[in-house]
Amino acid sequence: MKILMKSRAQQIGVVALLLALLAPLLLDSPSHLNLAILVLMAAQLGVAWNLLGGYAGQVSLGHAAFYGLGAYCSTLLLLNFGVNPWLGMLAGGALAAMASFAFGWSCFRLKGHYFAMATIAVAELLQIVFTNWEYAGSAVGVSIPFGQDSWAAMMFSGKKPFYCLALGLLLLTLAATWGIERSHLGYYFRAIKDEPDAARSLGINISRYKQIALSISAFFTAMGGSLYAQKELYIDPGSVLSTALSIKMALVSILGGVGTLLGPVVGAVVLTVIDELSRSLFGGTGRGTDTIIYAALIIAVAVFYPNGLVGWWRERRRVAAAKSKGAAQ
Amino acid sequence: MSLLEIHALTMRFDGLVANQEISFTLDAAKIVGLIGPNGAGKTTAFNCVAGHYRPSSGRILLNGQTISGLPPEACALAGIGRTFQIARTFTSMTACENVLTGALLRHKRVNVARERALHWLRFVQLDAFADKPAGSMTISEQRRLAVARALATEPKLLLMDEVMAGLNPSEVREMVAVVLRIRDSGIACLIVEHVLEGIMPIADKIVVLDRGLKIAEGTPAQVAADTLVISAYLWYA
């Protein structure tokens, strides 16, 4: 227990995990449970995005491409070949990881803002392909007919199983990130972000390690896409391949704190709650009031907490520690 | 056979010839100073050896193997460590993690790499800073940190680009002590330097460049007496 409780951040993490595990028992209303699922799914995407965008510092605004690939892969495999969605989810992840080589090959030639712009273009391209591809349902999209409640077929009429699935996938993604953070990959990713030239001088092949970060990130993003498809039983290019979705993945991380394990989780809670609250409070009042408030709050967080909420928290702890040290002397 | 052999190294940037047919050698566990006035082509030659530039012509050999044209990461693997004019510290990491990242080249297990990192931090006398955020250290400390980080890749040859520039006299003495310790542990040093009082007393050999050409080579005493060198420096002084 002592090891678990090393710092305040870890205490909060443990409490949050317990709350997350108990939430399905406490939340009775389907709308609250649905909000919780949205938070978990946004958090999972943020954590996956953070591997490339946060740790390795390669800001992608095209991650919806992987999300869409995951969603379409598992759905089309299920509809056309009867492939089990659990397998479909893994296949989607694998397909996205493979596709990420083409994505990386075309985008990693560019740096910084230009890289981000190229990722938008690649994702838009994929969206156009799917919008016009008859086999994948074109712009109309594809729906999965509901069979019966079953864990084996990943099909549920209620919300609670999806809560468990979303939490499980989030924990899996967090565990992978935790492991990577502590391995040589974590150090190499941060080195590439901080000083690419210095990283190369230490023998780090930065193209290879950027691609590794992208592939792992794409794999987990696609699994999130497959889960979304099973939850909604309907996908179309607008819902799983849109640039707005890519931006949301980045926002969740940036708001919470890039390059930190739990930053995207914090960001997902804050962003989703702001989104839902502004919609329920102001959504009916006029055209777009909720969106304006949502945007204003995001800008406020970005201006006042440029290192994200986790970064702000760490800074506060550091200052407090320095103060108590000064007082003790 | 020398550790490093540079044969007729030429580097052109469009019309500008930064290095013209430069040749010199460097033996194991020796200190060679590469000096010259501003714009002499020191850093260009240095960057060719480090793999940062691909030479327009000429050959660079390390232990008899051609390394010219290899990318920086392959040069590091071949046994060339380097520092930069600005320290290029990994600021999101602690001092120990900076050096650890270098040690990972030869030791992929993080625990082993951390042990090696602590060894190199002691070597440059920064062990007290191991858990400090690297970005909060002074310029002089970050320079030594960059040296430790490069040493952690276990090079045969360490390239140092103006490690003494901008340091006060006591910091220069600290750095000189570090350089001597590096040589004593069997690693050759090629040092590009402006601070002549730092490099002249410790170098085994000095190579002088001026306007892209090698104008002198020899012991520090020989070079200091060379009329070409004196006029090159006076011209710009």
Selecting from B71, B88, B152 the residue whose C-beta is nearest the C-beta of A195 gives B88
Selecting from A190, A191, A198 the residue whose C-beta is nearest the C-beta of B84 gives A198
Q: Which residue of B has its CA nearest to A258?
A: B92
Q: From chain B, pick out residues whose CB is under 8 angstroms from the CB of A201.
A: 50, 72-73, 76, 81-82, 84, 150
Which A-chain residues 202-221 have CB contacts (< 8 A) with chain B?
A: 202-206
Q: Which residue of B has its CA nearest to A180?
A: B110
Provide the shortest C-alpha distance from residue A190 to chain B (in Å). 7
Identify the pLDDT of residue A73.
97
Judge whether A261 lies within some domain.
Answer: yes
Q: From chain A, pick out residues whose CB is under 8 angstroms from the CB of B149.
A: 198, 202
B9 pLDDT more than 50: yes
What is the pTM for the complete model shown?
A: 0.91
Report the pLDDT averaged over residues B106-132: 95
Judge whether A243 lies within some domain.
Answer: yes
A193 touches chain B (CB under 8 A): yes
Best to test chain B binding among A189, A201, A208 (most B CBs inside 10 Å): A201
Mean of the per-residue pLDDT values for chain B? 92
Contact: B73, A206; criterion CB under 8 Å: yes
Q: How many interchain CB pairs under 8 A, A with B?
A: 73
Q: Are the beta carbons of B9 and B23 closer than 8 angstroms?
A: yes
Contact: B102, A202; criterion CB under 8 Å: yes
Judge whether A269 lies within some domain.
Answer: yes
Judge whether A218 lies within some domain.
Answer: yes
**CATH of span B1-79+157-169+188-237:** 3.40.50.300
Q: Which residue of A has its CA nearest to B80?
A: A201
Sheet holding B188-192, edge to edge: B80-82, B157-161, B188-192, B31-35, B205-210, B213-218
* pLDDT confidence band for A91 (50 / 70 / 90): very high
Provide the shortest C-alpha distance from residue B42 to chain A (in Å). 18
Judge whether A247 lies within some domain.
Answer: yes
Q: Any idea which of A5-9, A46-50, A52-56, A296-300 has the lowest mean pLDDT?
A: A5-9
* DSSP run (H or E) holding B207: strand B205-210
Contact: A195, B71; criterion CB under 8 Å: no
pLDDT tens digits, A118-157: 999 999 999 999 999 999 888 888 999 888 888 988 889 8
A57 touches chain B (CB under 8 A): no
Q: What domain count does chain A have?
A: 1
Report the pLDDT averaged over residues A266-291: 81
Taking each helix axis from N to C terminus, what angle separates A206-232 and A85-107, rounded to the nearest 10 degrees?
Answer: 140
Degrees to nearest 5, angle at CA B133 with B163 and A210? 85
Best to test chain A binding among B46, B73, B111 (most A CBs inside 10 Å): B73
Judge whether A97 lies within some domain.
Answer: yes
B235 pLDDT more than 70: no
Q: From chain A, pick out residues whose CB is under 8 angstroms from the CB of B113.
A: 184
Identify the pLDDT of residue A212.
97
* pLDDT confidence band for B163 (50 / 70 / 90): confident
Contact: B150, A195; criterion CB under 8 Å: no
Judge whether A228 lies within some domain.
Answer: yes
Identify the pLDDT of residue A203.
96
Report the pLDDT averaged over residues B112-136: 95
A183 pLDDT more than 70: yes
Selecting from B84, B92, B146 the residue whose C-beta is nearest the C-beta of A194 gives B92
A11 touches chain B (CB under 8 A): no
* pLDDT confidence band for A2 (50 / 70 / 90): very low
- Give dist(CA B16, CA B1) in Å, integer: 32
B171 pLDDT more than 60: yes
Identify the pLDDT of residue A1.
40
* Percentage of residues of chain B with pLDDT beyond 90: 79
Mean of the per-residue pLDDT values for chain A? 89
Q: Where are the domains of chain B?
A: 1-79+157-169+188-237, 85-154
Bridge-based pairing of strands B57-62 and B4-13 is: antiparallel
* Percentage of residues of chain A with pLDDT beyond 70: 96
State the CATH number of the domain containing residue A151: 1.10.3470
Burial of B186 (0-12, 13-18, 19+ CB in 10 A): exposed
* Percentage of residues of chain B with pLDDT beyond 70: 98
Identify the pLDDT of residue A327.
67
Provide the shortest C-alpha distance from residue A54 to chain B (in Å). 12
* pLDDT confidence band for B190 (50 / 70 / 90): very high
Q: Are the beta carbons of B123 and B181 closer than 8 angstroms?
A: yes
A286 pLDDT more than 80: no
Contact: B71, A188; criterion CB under 8 Å: no
Q: From chain B, pick out residues whose CB is under 8 angstroms from the CB of A197.
A: 52, 72, 84, 88
Report the pLDDT averaged over residues B140-159: 96
Q: Using H for helix, E for strand and C for coil, what is the string for chain A? A: CCCCCCCHHHHHHHHHHHHHHHHHHHCCCHHHHHHHHHHHHHHHHHHHHHHHHHHCCCCCCCCHHHHHHHHHHHHHHHHHHCCCHHHHHHHHHHHHHHHHHHHHHHHCCCCHHHHHHHHHHHHHHHHHHHHCCHHHCHHHCEECCCCCCECCCCECCCCHHHHHHHHHHHHHHHHHHHHHHHCHHHHHHHHHHHCHHHHHHCCCCHHHHHHHHHHHHHHHHHHHHHHHHHHHCEECHHHHCCHHHHHHHHHHHHHHCCCCCCHHHHHHHHHHHHHHHHHHHHCCCCCCHHHHHHHHHHHHHHHHCCCHHHHHHHHHHHHHHHHHHHHHC
- Give dist(CA B53, CA B214) in Å, integer: 19
Residue A149 lies in domain:
30-328
Provide the shortest C-alpha distance from residue A161 to chain B (in Å). 38
Taking each helix axis from N to C terminus, what angle separates A243-256 and A289-304, rounded to the nearest 10 degrees?
Answer: 40
Contact: A203, B110; criterion CB under 8 Å: no
Contact: A184, B84; criterion CB under 8 Å: no
Judge whether A25 lies within some domain.
Answer: no
A268 touches chain B (CB under 8 A): no
Q: Which residue of B has its CA nearest to A179?
A: B110
More confident residue, B9 or A137: B9
Identify the pLDDT of residue B119.
97
Contact: A202, B105; criterion CB under 8 Å: yes
